[in-house]
Amino acid sequence: MVALQALPDLAPTPSPTHSPTPKVVAATGGSAVGAALSTVVSWAVVQYCPITLPDNVAQAVTFLIITGLTAAFTFASGYLTRPSRYHTIAVDPVSGRARICQARRS
């Protein structure tokens, strides 16, 4: 007769964490790249535009280009980054709020 032995549970136990997920880190980097690139693009558009724009319109165009490209880079880099296999979302039983948890071996 063979005796059965208990195997250790290999599933990680989630524990709350305040560390940013890879998607958040990627979105932060994307916003920095987007701000720098959009500043250069807006300068080029305003500088080489064949039509002379009034100052207020040139400022509005610059603002729209910088804001739009920064938001696009932020969204794209956060969206295209794969989620971490070590992070999950769990519901806090006390408050009922969703919490990001990092897997930890028990």
Parse the chain into domains and list their residue ranges: 18-104
Percentage of residues in the chain having pLDDT higher than 70: 81
Least confident of 14-23, 32-41, 59-68: 14-23
| Distance (Å, whole) CA 81 – CA 73 | 12
> What six digits make up the tokens of 13?
């136990």
| Distance (Å, whole) CA 16 – CA 89 | 9
Mean pLDDT value across residues 9-28: 73
HSE-up (13 A, CA, CB side) for residue 101: 16
> What six digits make up the tokens of 84?
């971490």
pLDDT at 10 over 60: no
At residue 3, the pLDDT reads 59
Where residue 46 falls among pLDDT bands split at 50, 70, 90?
Answer: confident
> What six digits make up the tokens of 57?
């319109």
Q: Are 58 and 65 in contact (CB under 8 A)?
A: no
pLDDT at 106 over 80: no
Q: Are 21 and 87 in contact (CB under 8 A)?
A: yes
